[in-house]
Amino acid sequence: MKYNAWNIFQQGLTGNRDWKEAWRKPEPKAEYDIIVVGGGGHGLATAYYLAAKHGKHRVAVLEKGWIGGGNAGRNTTIVRSNYLLPGNQPFYELSMKLWEGLERELNYNAMMSQRGMLNLLHSDAQRDAGARRANAMLMSGADAELLNRDKIERDYPFLDFDNERFPIKAGLMQRRAGTARHDAVVWGYARAADQLGVDVIENCEVNGFLINNGVCSGVKTSRGDIKASKTAVCVAGSSGRVMAMAGMQLPIESFALQAFVSEGLKPVLPTAFSFGAGHFYVSQSDKGGIVFGGDLDSYNTYAQRGSLDIVQDVTECAVAVMPSIGRARLLRSWGGLMDMSMDGSPFIDKTHIDGLHFNGGWCYGGFKATPASGLCYAHLLATGTPHEVAKSYRLDRTLTGAMVDEKGQGAHPNRH
């Protein structure tokens, strides 16, 4: 059933009795054309685009817990397309364009708010790098503006402009960037995929692959074996342990990323913004909480919680750039599982095992990529070739030397 004002009105007058389930809860079939392992944002987006754009309806999404219970369930919600490298920026701009049309396409309110994203710049060199990145953004069809200090002071009077160590010299603004409601994206894709015949199956954990003579013919799960000619893994931070079941090692390590929300405050942040002299990014939610995050916890972990020294580190950045936030109280914090790759960029590729595909290595930047990741993975699965904007996301790029290293940190996953 469509969500629209008329339905709300009519249902309201009749006691809200006839709302339909947003998605079915089917039993897994014995066989599908394509199995998507992982019911997060990316997996559900993949299934939706397989059905909507490629006419593939015999598709199942298998999720070990409840859909969106991983990183899509708790992130800092920022959506943007302000990358530098030619292997990345067109992909993220495609994603941004998909975000812009998403609510209409899915008939679901994802609370998309294109409030803008400002990257602060604190030195001449950083401003030059910002200008270069702005040009890369413009070349990809995205929008970008370089703001001088006066323009920033007018809208962000609470920032510490004359900080002795990190004065604010300029800023790179993307006005079309913003935030979206992370849960809603998951539910929107799930409902839309379900309406096109995709089986969204929760509480179904993949615990092995059916592999024979280099060919993958499906998966073993907690609810039985399920066959498929194509299996598409996208499990984010769990990539290592899931692909190990196929005997594969990946150029990925798993780290925890913590994020935080303050008590609700009156509106103070006009856009999302990031600190240029430390790893810190922040926005204000519609409930008033200041939502922010920063560095990873630096050691391999699957614990989905981090240590207190990072809490101190991140809040120090917050107070350095925006001193007044020091008076706010932290309401909530959490940790998620990041699949950090060797160059900080993702993989959307076939594997050396026929029929087995891998999508992962999104590091801490997977949420904004959700629509394009789904679209490009669906394209790969349906046509057998990579999508134009995802051509760099090959698993063998570490061997061929075609790295996509935005931060220039080399083979150190915890530095990207």
Partner 1 sequence: MIIEHPLLGPRDAAEFSYLGAATLMARPSPENGLQAMHDYVYLRENPVGIHRELWYHAQGDRSWLVVTRDTMTQDITKVELARDVALAQSGETS
Residue 250: CB minimum distance to partner 1, A: 7
**Coil vs helix vs strand at 245:** coil
Query: Which one of 3-11, 54-62, 238-246, 278-286 is the stretch in contact with partner 1 (CB under 8 A)?
Result: 238-246
The residue to which tokens 């931070």 are assigned: 237
Query: Is residue 249 part of the contact set for partner 1 (CB under 8 A)?
Result: yes
Instruction: Kindly report the number of other CB atoms within 10 A of residue 233's CB atom.
Output: 27
Query: Which one of 112-120, 125-133, 152-160, 246-254 is the stretch in contact with partner 1 (CB under 8 A)?
Result: 246-254
| Cβ proximity to partner 1, 63 vs 297, nearer residue | 297
| Cβ proximity to partner 1, 45 vs 356, nearer residue | 356
What is the Cα–Cα distance from 330 to 415, expressed in whole angstroms?
A: 26
Binding positions for partner 1, 294-323, rule CB under 8 A: 298-303, 307, 309
Instruction: Kindly report the number of other CB atoms within 10 A of residue 4's CB atom.
Output: 10
Among 254, 284, 345, 359, binds partner 1 (CB under 8 A): 254
Identity of the residue numbered 216 = C
| Cβ proximity to partner 1, 50 vs 250, nearer residue | 250
Closest CA to 122 of 317, 365, 362, 330: 317
Residue 239: CB minimum distance to partner 1, A: 8
Query: Is residue 19 part of the contact set for partner 1 (CB under 8 A)?
Result: no
Question: Vertex 202, ends 220 and 68: CA angle to 5°?
Answer: 120
Query: Is residue 251 part of the contact set for partner 1 (CB under 8 A)?
Result: yes
Query: Which one of 183-191, 292-300, 361-369, 371-379 is the stretch in contact with partner 1 (CB under 8 A)?
Result: 292-300
Query: Is residue 240 part of the contact set for partner 1 (CB under 8 A)?
Result: yes
Among 244, 263, 287, 323, binds partner 1 (CB under 8 A): 244
338-367 burial, b at 16+ Cβ within 10 Å, e below that, comes to: bbbbbbbbbbbbbbebebbbbbbbbbbbbb
Contact 55, 190 (CB under 8 A): no
Residue 413: CB minimum distance to partner 1, A: 8
Among 250, 272, 356, 390, binds partner 1 (CB under 8 A): 250
User: How far is the CA of 289 from the CAs of 180, 252, 409, in angstroms?
Assistant: 15, 33, 33
| Cβ proximity to partner 1, 83 vs 255, nearer residue | 255
Contact 259, 306 (CB under 8 A): no
Binding positions for partner 1, 338-367, rule CB under 8 A: 342
| Cβ proximity to partner 1, 163 vs 304, nearer residue | 304
Residue 307: CB minimum distance to partner 1, A: 6
Query: Half-sphere exposure of 157 toward its Cβ, with a 13 Å CA cutoff?
Result: 2
CA 59 to chain centre: 22
130-148 burial, b at 16+ Cβ within 10 Å, e below that, comes to: beebbebbeebebbbebbe
| Cβ proximity to partner 1, 103 vs 295, nearer residue | 295
Residue 77: CB minimum distance to partner 1, A: 27
Contact 345, 393 (CB under 8 A): yes
Name the token pair of 162.
């004359």
Query: Is residue 412 part of the contact set for partner 1 (CB under 8 A)?
Result: yes
Name the token pair of 231.
């299996």
Residue 305: CB minimum distance to partner 1, A: 9
| Cβ proximity to partner 1, 254 vs 351, nearer residue | 254
Name the token pair of 146.
């370089």
Among 5, 13, 30, 399, binds partner 1 (CB under 8 A): 399
Contact positions vs partner 1 (CB under 8 A) = 240-241, 244, 249-254, 298-303, 307, 309, 342, 398-399, 411-414
